[in-house]
Every structure is written in C-alpha cells, then in structure tokens.
C-alpha cells in the first residue's frame, strides 16, 4: 500500500520562509554596513570640525568623542568611551557643569557659556547640551563645545575701548554709569555703603589756554596718575570729560573717612606739576555724596548731588571739598556731613 500526500503548499511555505530569512539577513547586513559607513562618515565629519563633540549617556559616561578631544585634553577619543565626564574635564570644572548636566538630563536643551576646562586653561568655550530621547525617555545627551577664546578677546578689547578714556586710560563716563548703578543697587539691597567724589581742577583752563592743548593733555595724564596713586586699589577713578574726574569709593560709611580721602586728593593735586619747562600749579574742588544702607537714591541723583557739592566748594574758595546736603530723615552720621565738612575743609 502507498499513501501520497500533496505537500506543494508546505514546500511553498518553507521556500517563502527561507526567502524571508535570506531577505532579512540581507537587509540586516546592508543596515550594518550602512551604520558602519555612517559612523565612519560621522567620525570623519566631526573630527574635522573645530568643535568638541561628544555623546554622553545618562550615567555621564562618554559614548562618542571626536578628535578635538585629543587636541584639547591629550587623550585618544576611543579611550574615552566608557570613561566618566568628571575624569576627563576635572573635578572643579565638572562641579560647575553639573547643574547644566542635570537640566539636560531632565529634557531641557541647555547653553553653558564661558567654560574653562582644566586641561586647556587658556581657552574659553561655549557649550550646548542637547538631550537624547529614546522611547520618550532621556538616554543621555550630546555635547557641542565651541572655542570662543578669540571672540572673548575681541569683546574684551572692544569693551575696553568703549569703557576707557583715550587720553588718560582711566574708566570713562560709560564705565562710571555702569559701576555707579551697581553700587547703588548694592547699597539698597545689601546695605553696602559707598561715597562719590566729584572733582574739577582749579586753574586748568588758564594753563591750557596759555601753554596749549599738548601741555594741557600732558597735565591731565599726570593728574590721572596722581589720583590713581592717592586712592585705594579697589577704588574706581574715572575721567568724565575735560578736567572733571570722579572717584567711586566702596565701603566708605563715615564722613570723617570721606574727609581724609578728600584732603589727600587736594594735597596730591596741589603739588606742582613738572611739564618740561613748564611748572603748573593746580587745585581741585571736590564734591562728596555718600550712600549708606537703606538710603534710597539713584545713580543720576548721586552724581548730581556730588556735582552740586563740587560747585559749592568752588564758591567757598576752591581747592577744598564740600559734602552734598541730605534729607532730614537720613541716618545721623549722614546728617552730620556738612558739620564735618566745616570742621575738615581744606583750603590752600
């Protein structure tokens, strides 16, 4: 006896299954080759960009680094895979960056400015952290750090040019306005006192008219040098315009301290100036405005008060100083400005 079964359908199914497996294997192989090629292309592209590029997992371990890491940190990029970010950039830099890492791992795209890595202390970087999502979860993030050292240098140079007086090299009116506003805010919020000294040279115009602008410019340069030498290292000495100078002295809380500073300024400017064959004699009239904790004012009001006090000093005989008048409800030490002024005024 023999039994025959039609297995055409089964053979067809087996062939279809074999073809499917072969096609799947072919596609996997092609995809693997494609990924390998793409990774090589990605590595080639990123290696030739002047940017630090890295891929970091959620445990803050490197998964990818471009060749710029070797230039900056002296480490082969392939050797960094699996290493922690902390071990590469240094503990102190890592602590400064950690708040930004936490934000990007929470799903936020973050920009971190003005980074200085321990391995490259002379360079400044600007980093962007981009979160990596997998199935709606954060798997890590990408790092792109751009070297902005030259940009920062140009910015600082431009800022210096904008903020400095071209003749004397002292901070100018713009720099004073910025620092005075900060000092007023600090006095209001943190009760940090300061004093403002507005100075106008006595006798400068006649010397400038008699001997010419070159002598006048040389004289202003010497005046600036004397003011810098007379004042403290942390004080801000500015040239507003012409023969007008301003001193911003932080941490000054008493009228007696202001009087001593003003006396030192008057003595320093009162000494003769040697300008080649010309010996110049000057004085200076100083107006003083003080700002103590809880004293509600503005930068403009402070400068105006000191300016008016300076003109009062000129009217009272020049080469001396006067305090700005204050409201009756200000602290007693400030209420005694004018009395202290009368006792301590300097006249030559």
Give the residue numbers annotated as catalytic, written as ranges.
243
Q: Which of 200, 201, 205, 211 is nearest to 282 (CA)?
A: 201
Which residues neighbour 344 within 8 Å (Cβ) at sequence distance 6 or greater? 256, 259, 262, 263
In the chain, the largest separation of any two C-alpha atoms, in whole Å, equals 143
Rounded CA separation 289/337 (Å):
9
Which residues neighbour 140 within 8 Å (Cβ) at sequence distance 6 or greater? 55, 56, 57, 58, 63, 105, 131, 132
Rounded CA separation 194/187 (Å):
7
At 249 the three-state DSSP class reads strand
Q: Which of 348, 155, 168, 188 is nearest to 270 (CA)?
A: 348
199 neighbors 264 (Cβ within 8 angstroms):
no
């Amino acid at each position: 006896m023999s039994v025959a079964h039609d297995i055409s359908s089964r053979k067809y199914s087996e062939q279809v299954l074999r073809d499917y497996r072969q096609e799947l294997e072919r596609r996997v192989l092609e995809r693997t080759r494609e990924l390998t090629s793409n990774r090589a292309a990605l590595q080639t592209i990123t290696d030739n960009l002047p940017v630090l590029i890295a891929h970091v997992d959620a445990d803050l371990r490197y998964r990818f680094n471009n060749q710029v890491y070797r230039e900056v940190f002296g480490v082969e990029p392939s050797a960094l895979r699996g290493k922690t970010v902390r071990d590469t950039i240094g503990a102190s830099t890592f602590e400064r960056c950690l708040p930004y890492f936490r934000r990007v791992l929470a799903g936020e795209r973050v920009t971190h400015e003005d980074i200085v890595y321990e391995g490259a202390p002379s360079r400044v970087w600007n980093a962007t952290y981009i979160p990596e999502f997998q199935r709606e979860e954060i798997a890590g993030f990408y790092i792109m750090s751009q070297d902005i050292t030259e940009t920062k240098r140009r910015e600082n140079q431009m800022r210096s040019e904008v903020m400095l007086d071209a003749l004397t090299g002292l901070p100018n009116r713009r720099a004073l306005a910025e620092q005075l506003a900060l000092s007023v805010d600090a006095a209001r919020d943190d009760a940090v006192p300061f004093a403002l000294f507005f100075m106008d040279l006595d006798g400068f115009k006649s010397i400038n008219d008699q001997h010419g602008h070159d002598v006048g410019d040389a004289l202003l340069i010497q005046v600036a040098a004397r003011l810098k030498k007379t004042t403290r290292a942390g004080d801000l000495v500015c040239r507003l315009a012409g023969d007008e100078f301003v001193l911003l002295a932080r941490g000054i809380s008493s009228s007696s301290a202001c009087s001593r500073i003003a006396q030192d300024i008057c003595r320093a400017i009162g000494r003769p100036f040697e300008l080649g064959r010309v010996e110049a004699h000057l004085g200076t009239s100083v107006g003083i405005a003080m700002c103590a904790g809880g004293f509600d004012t503005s930068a403009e009001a402070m400068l105006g008060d000191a300016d008016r006090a300076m003109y009062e000093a000129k009217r009272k005989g020049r080469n001396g100083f006067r305090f700005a008048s204050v409201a009756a409800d200000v602290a007693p030490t400030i209420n005694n400005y004018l009395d202290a002024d009368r006792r301590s005024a300097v006249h030559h």
